[in-house]
Amino acid sequence: MTYSKLAPAAAGLAAALALLAVPSAASAATAQSTAQAQSLSVHRASASCTSPRGQKINVSWGDGNVSTTVYFNNHCNQKRWIELKFVKQNHDYFWKCVPVNPRTSGKKKFDNSNPDKVVLTKKKTNC
């Protein structure tokens, strides 16, 4: 083989290797963004309705570092309560509650972050 035939082949090989190196950098960035997404994950909960059968109340919230916003969609014909347990740095805890009327959806923002526990109840119990 002559030099004129080897030069384009070598250039093609270098270009192919360069393309193979780019996805590894992209996958490292993706792994970092996945780790951030896991630390700021969205949590979901649901509870069955008494009536109508087969329907639920659905709730979701995120791990905020300043506040917590709870999103809800009540498909039930009954009023439900969303109760959030927050823990202070000194290990004391307190509850915040929000009533959810039948057949409504919406959101409620709390000035506290990262609830320890979220409970869906038929009656107000912890507040």
| 69 and 11 in a common domain | no
| 21 and 64 in a common domain | no
Q: Would you say residue 127 lies in a domain?
A: no
Range of the domain at 15: 1-39
What b/e sequence results for 40-50 when a residue is b if at least 16 CB atoms lie within 10 Å of its CB, and e otherwise? eeeeebebebe
Backbone phi, psi, residue 48, to 5°: -75, 150
Q: Would you say residue 126 lies in a domain?
A: no
The per-residue pLDDT for 1 is 52
Distance CA 104, CA 120 (A): 15
| 68 and 92 in a common domain | yes
DSSP letters for 94-112? EEEEEEE-TT-EEEEEESS
Please report where in the chains the tokens 């069955």 appear, as a residue. Answer: 48
| 23 and 8 in a common domain | yes
Total domains in the fold of the chain: 2
69 and 96 Cβ atoms separated by less than 8 Å: no
| 60 and 4 in a common domain | no
State pTM to two decimals: 0.66
pLDDT mean by block of 10 residues, the chain; 127 residues? 57 54 46 44 94 95 91 96 94 95 96 92 90
The per-residue pLDDT for 26 is 43
| 25 and 49 in a common domain | no
